């Protein structure tokens, strides 16, 4: 007799489980049905997407980067390659000044290379999104983008020319005046507030 009751009690646990499943079945779904729906930008705001360069406040198409190469050496996976912009050819006046200085026995003052990158490439296929580069950059020129839907069919699709990408993004933002206004107001922090910009606070 006791064993019958026990079996019934045991079987009841299955009914309870079915009841829970039935209740959940009637509730609305919780998943985002990509591609019919996409994750909201707010939800992606704190996500570390591929890194991007951050433009100057007054000229968003030009990066803040001063080509110090700190990010290149901090990156664990050698994703970043930066070259300095070429030194401009000295103007005739500068050439003359240099020649005069040499004649006087002084060290001629050569024009310094500009503190700006000539090329800035980034290989997303190697990147582990660790954030070392973002942390180390002294002028906060690197940030995480939030492009979470990114596809490519070849490896090269993920090697980005960041200078071109920045210019493209800046142009796109310009073409969209409605969106540009609030973003320009918060220009120093290009990523939404939840995104990590700890280097400045540390």
Partner 1 sequence: MHSTETLRSHGTACPATSADGGCTDDQIAGDGYTCRFEQGARPESLILNMGPQHPSTHGVLRVLLELDGEYIVRAEPVLGYLHRMHEKMAEVKTPAQFMPNMGRVDYLHALAWNWAYVGAVEKLAGIEIPERAEYLRVITCELNRISSHLLWWGAYLLDLGAFTPIMYAFDDREMLLDLLQLMTGSRLTYSSFRFGGVYTDAGPAFVQGVRQFIPHLRSRLPMYTALVTENIILRRRIEEVGVIPQDMVTRYGASGPVARGSGIAYDVRRAEPYSVYDRFDYEIPVRHEECSMARYMVRMAEIEQSLRIIEQAIESLPEGEHMHPKAPKPSFKLPAGESYFAVEGARGKIGVWIASDGGKTPYRVKLRAPGFSNLALFAECARGTLLADAVAILGSLDMVIPEIDR
Minimum CB separation of residue 128 from partner 1 in Å reads 4
Q: Given CA atoms 120, 157, 127, 189 in this order, what sign does their dihedral have?
A: positive
Binding string, residues 73-102; x marks residues near ligand SF4 by CB under 6 A: -xxxx-xx-x--------------------
Interacting positions 92-151 with partner 1 (CB under 8 A): 128-132, 135-136, 144
Task: Please report, in angstroms and rounded to a whole number, the separation of the first and last CA atoms in the chain.
Answer: 71
Q: Which residues contact 145 (CB under 8 A, 6 or more apart)?
A: 49, 50, 51, 52
Query: At closest approach, how far in Å is the CB of 196 from partner 1?
Result: 5
Is residue 159 involved in binding ligand SF4 (CB under 6 A)?
no
CA pair distance 192, 42, nearest whole angstrom: 9
Q: Where does this chain touch partner 1 (CB under 8 A) — which range of 83-91, 111-119, 152-160, 187-195?
A: 187-195
Q: What is d(CA 124, CA 97) in angstroms, rounded to the nearest whole number?
A: 46
Q: With binding defined as CB under 6 A, does residue 130 bind ligand SF4?
A: yes
Record the tokens describing residue 201, joined without a space. Answer: 């606070």
Does residue 72 bind partner 1 (CB under 8 A)? no
Strand partners, 142: 53
Return residues touching partner 1 (CB under 8 A): 10-11, 13-14, 16-17, 20-21, 24, 30, 43, 46-48, 73-77, 128-132, 135-136, 144, 193-196, 198, 201-202
């Amino acid at each position: 007799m006791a064993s019958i009751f026990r079996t019934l009690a045991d079987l009841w646990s299955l009914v309870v489980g079915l009841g829970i499943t039935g209740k959940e079945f009637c509730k609305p779904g919780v998943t985002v049905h990509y591609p019919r729906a996409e994750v909201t930008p707010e939800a992606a705001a704190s996500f570390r997407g591929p890194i991007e360069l951050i433009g100057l406040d007054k000229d968003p198409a030009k990066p803040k980067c001063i080509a110090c190469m700190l990010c290149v050496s901090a990156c664990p996976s050698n994703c970043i390659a930066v070259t300095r912009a070429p030194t401009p050819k000295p103007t005739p006046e500068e050439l003359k000044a240099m020649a005069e200085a040499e004649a006087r026995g002084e060290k001629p003052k050569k024009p310094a290379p500009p503190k700006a990158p000539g090329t800035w490439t980034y290989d997303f296929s190697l990147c582990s999104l660790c954030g070392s580069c973002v942390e180390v950059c002294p002028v906060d020129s690197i940030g995480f983008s939030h492009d979470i839907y990114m596809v490519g069919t070849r490896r090269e699709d993920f090697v980005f020319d960041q200078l071109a990408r920045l210019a493209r993004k800046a142009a796109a933002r310009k073409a969209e005046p409605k969106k540009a206004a609030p973003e320009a107001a918060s220009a120093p922090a290009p990523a939404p507030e939840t995104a990590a910009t700890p280097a400045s606070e540390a």
